[in-house]
Structure 1
Amino acid sequence: MPELALALIAFVGSHELLSHVLRKPLVAKLGEAGFAALYSVVAAATLFWAVNAWQRAEPAQLWTAPLWMWSVGSIVMLIAAILFVGSMTSPNPALPGRGAAANAAPRGVLRITRHPMMWAFGLWAAVHATLSGDKATILFCFGIGFLALFGASMQDRKKRGQLGAAWAAHEASTSYLPFGAQFGGRASWSSINPGLVATLGGIVLWLAATWAHPMMGAPVVGIWSMIG
């Protein structure tokens, strides 16, 4: 557990340092391509360390989730899968090199949240921590979830500096929290349609992941439990 905690601190901390504090000086020295390569190596190395430490951690079961929670978790993961696919298929100004999309009206999953990829990871972390009940898995998921959701808020601050009025307008027409614009009255509930590509792609991803889960020891849930 102590090693897992250290690995997660390294994983989360290196992401935040490289994304914000150290990005500008490193880009000046290494160039965009060099910085991207360094970022990828550090991210992969620290993630590998965290996964390896998690696999070697002593099991410590804090609770056992009832089967009905696995079905609820499966539904939440479908939402996460749609957000994830939609984050890559919609004009998403939060992604590197797509800042110009902030000038356009939000489309698809961006009308649900302006950080669909980060919330996909956040929902993944919440579901897996809740259903697992294992101490090491909870800690691992907390690290992933914290990086995603805290990183999203930090990304807002960085984008304000980079894109100025364009990002401010994008923030005004979207929300950090899922469905925040709808609850706040800034968008209609009819606008939450994620789009055909995100929906179908998310369903395919969800079906594939649900099918693969029993191979890793997880209960058979969702549509596969009905088929089986």
Structure 2
Amino acid sequence: MMSGPIRSRLQSMLGGQGFLLFYSLVSLSVLAWAMVTFDRVKTGTPLWDGMAAGPWVVASLLTITGTAFLLPSFTRNPALAGANAAGVGTWIPAGVFRITRHPMMWGIALWALGHIVASPTPRVLIVMSGLIVLALLGSHFQDKRKVAQNKREFHPWQRRTSFWPRLQELGALRLIWAIAFLVWFIATWLHYHFFGVPAGLWMWIG
């Protein structure tokens, strides 16, 4: 719907803001349905022991990195809905955008992948794999749509940035790493104390 002909028809009918509101309501409804269904489905047998030290450390690193990508993605991000594209073609990538031009979607994908590693049950695999596909495939189609809408601004921006994360640029996040760790630590504490499921360091210190 976000990239096909249905999107154009809906935008013509509802207008830009109306379409965003409609899409947000549909997305929230689907998310709520997925959460309710997830809760009702039996856990199932995990494919491996996600609570072993190795997978647990990998999952923790993935979710910390996902948090570090997500936090700065709300600032000067031309991919956000309603963002002003004027001058984007002249921007020099800085911070998280030196790593990828889609930090929000990669943050979601890494967060979902971390959950798969730590809890590889059928229901987690289905829901989190779906999130990964939606995030990354959506980003791919968004790139095409942005260039089609405004080639002058987005073609240079896409040439200067990368879809796939540039691991050699992870140091560009600097202080964000410390902030991300703190946010992750608090989030995993909430996860443990409200849902009764240990996450992150709380596996050992809870």
> Do they superpose with TM above 0.5?
yes
Partner of 1:111: 98
Q: Which runs of 5+ in 2 are unaligned?
A: none
Quote the Cα distance in structure 2 between the aligned partners of 1:221 and 1:34.
40
User: How far 1:226 sits from its partner (Å)?
Assistant: 6.7
Report the 3-state secondary structure (helix = DSSP H, G, I; strand = E; otherwise coil) of the residue aligned with 2:16. Answer: helix
Give the 3 Å change call, closer, same or farther, for CA 165–81 of structure 1 in structure 2.
same
TM, length-normalised to structure 1: 0.79
| Number of equivalences | 201
1:193 aligns with 2:172: yes
| Matching residue within 21, 42, 47 for 1:58 | 42
C-alpha deviation, 1:62, in angstroms: 2.8
Equivalent-residue separation in structure 2 for 1:200 and 1:22 (angstroms): 42
Q: Between the two proteins, what is the percent identity of the paired residues? A: 33
Aligned counterparts, 1:10-29, within 5 A: 17-29=1-13
TM-score using structure 2 length = 0.87
Report the equivalent of 1:5: none
2:94 matched to 1:94?
no
The answer to whether the 8 Å contact 2:3/2:141 transfers is: no
Q: Report the Cα distance in structure 2 between the residues aligned to 1:200 and 1:24, rounded to whole angstroms.
A: 42
What are structure 1's unaligned runs of at least 5 residues? 1-16, 183-188
1:33 shift after superposition: 2.0
- 1:10 aligns with none
Q: Could you tell me how far apart the structure 1 residues matched to 2:104 and 2:21 are?
A: 21
Change (3 A) 1:129 1:101: farther
Pairing partner for 2:60 from 74, 79, 82? 74
Q: How far apart are the structure 2 equivalents of 1:143 and 1:220? A: 21
Alignment RMSD (CA, Å): 2.1
- Post-superposition offset of 1:225: 5.8
1:221 CA displacement = 3.1
Q: Following the alignment from structure 1 to structure 2, what is the Cα–Cα distance between the partners of residues 195 and 205?
A: 15
Q: Secondary structure at the match of 2:101?
A: coil
Runs ≥4 in structure 1, deviation > 4 angstroms?
Answer: 224-228
Q: Structure 1 21/130 Cα, relative in aligned 2: closer, same or farther at 3 Å? A: farther
The change in CA–CA distance for 1:221 and 1:173 in structure 2 (over 3 A counts) is: same
